[in-house]
Structure 1
């Protein structure tokens, strides 16, 4: 009989109980992926992979242990269970560990409404290669592009199933279709590189190869003849390509695990103004065809739409069961579970309220400053919110882009930066994190 992720989960739990576990949960992920990469109009790399991974967590009282494997034979499952139980008996007690109460487990959901998997057939390697070659050709067609470093296309289909010993069993499939291009402009020591790409759940939603290649080439050419910017205090406009990183720092600071450890600059700011009153941060795990959507979390609890920031005010933490118990709160249905890791809090789809103006409007209004399109490295103090990152982009004077810049550092404090954000209206609605370009009126730039 063919073993499915669902039957394997139940076999793992049954084996754990026979081995002496008081409670257990299991997760099984099965997937297939295909990727193609081209260079100089020729196939450079082709890879296809298929596999299945099994994860088992067992609990004896307040002791827990986790084991994983990619072998689904019956004897392996039995060995996994026996080893996990033996490990749990030696593990230290964790007063906050444990499965969800049976009455809190979600029992019904509407997978069709989420559209997590494209029903169309898997694309052939030839079809992926055609797309990759088209993206490469479009990049090379841009005047000033000397070469395309790589152009690639990929496809994946994955199934995941989660089951618990106290009554939960559920799973779903996902698909992904991707296309990317990395172009290089200039020659010798005066070379610049930039990128464009797209990943979608449905093939029909993917941006065209011509657009992706052309955009990569145009971005690379725009980076030629870079300079270092002035040193001083200037407004910084975070381009939509990288602006979600600012909201990412906010989400990390409002993560229940960080709050429970006391390692967050937001730990004493519940109910306080974090963003301007015009901005809210909404988490919505029910958006169709979006990678962060899901009907339940990694502990079998229902996911939910919630306002993490409402009208600029912090309203709640992101919690799994363990962090909720530590804080004497209730899980928000945000447990992420890996094959080889215990549940931990994580966010799903996030959207920041869009502003009323375009990026061009914000550029015009900022006067002299820096448009940041790329960042490297990171020094973020989780306790104070002090922020420092390497950046590159474009110098702006009198509201107009003057020249590309690199080799600079931007610095500030996240509390001040976030409280004074001005949002544009250019967020891409198909991303899991929909964040528009963001203007911060006053950061330190270390350049010349």
Structure 2
């Protein structure tokens, strides 16, 4: 089975049939690093508004941009062999195959940040993912370990939809409305919960205001933790994960108002916020927003008995229409557990879906969205950038190091520790330092 990148190249050259969301996907990512107007690049987030202060990647040397696939392969393997245990390469599930093949660990953002800790001898952690993931790795890494993001333009449009200034302003308005005094049960008026897909600054904000971090796999446990301590939850940045998780826990949708940071009180009436159980930030993942109920209906019509698995970042009607919803790890495990040949329609990023299809040829596995549209920012990582930063390390040069300042990292780590200590049925003593 061809990789997603190879398929995009063949479609763009009219050598095979198929549809991509942007023909620019066939270009090298470096083409978009130097554009006068910054953007996330071609792919699912290409129409999202990008903050002016978003990190940008300068031009990488021509020897990497112009190198053949074979030359890049040889240089990457040679650099890794030279560096040995001094470096660990992490690859997110959504990375292109051409990058994942060089990873020492493949997983979701938090799995990878923790995987790096199993290589204590590593002087450098090269994170083939996006910016907030590299920040989390830096928070969890030793002070003497350097975390490197091969392309600084690999951000996340969802994470950018909630910035520290907007969240702080929201919090001030909520405090003015609710006050700060706990109720008779000792629960404060509102607890902030941020998804892992957010900046280190927002993780720190949550810690400083009694809140916590969640992942897509433990969101329900984290919300339980928050409801024990607060009358309401402010959930950001992804509205869909918050809505889908809270709805599955029995929270009525009408008690989950949306907060639009561009409007007073988020665009809500005061009574709506008084009645709220979960206040949802107006953010979303552009990858998962592409999936629709119509796609599910089409899959069921064409493949009777199909199992539809989607990520909880998908809109609520899509999650409701699917057979199951869960994290990337959940989706992978569900397919691995199937003992009989099964048809699976998957609602998550195409690189992961394509890789699962190759890994489990006994099943029919396909992406719900027939249009190939990878994550714009994961796409910004390319073997050329990986070769560039690895050969830099060989020369003793650390390129694109991601550093989280101590005044942000310390509280952010507290929020992560709270997440790890939250367990169904009661707290655990396990913390990040275990």
TM-score normalized by the length of structure 2: 0.25
Point out the structure with the larger strand share: 1
Higher helix share: 2
- Select the structure of larger CA radius of gyration: 1
TM-score, normalization by structure 1: 0.25
| Structure with higher RCO (Cα < 8 A, 6+ apart) | 2
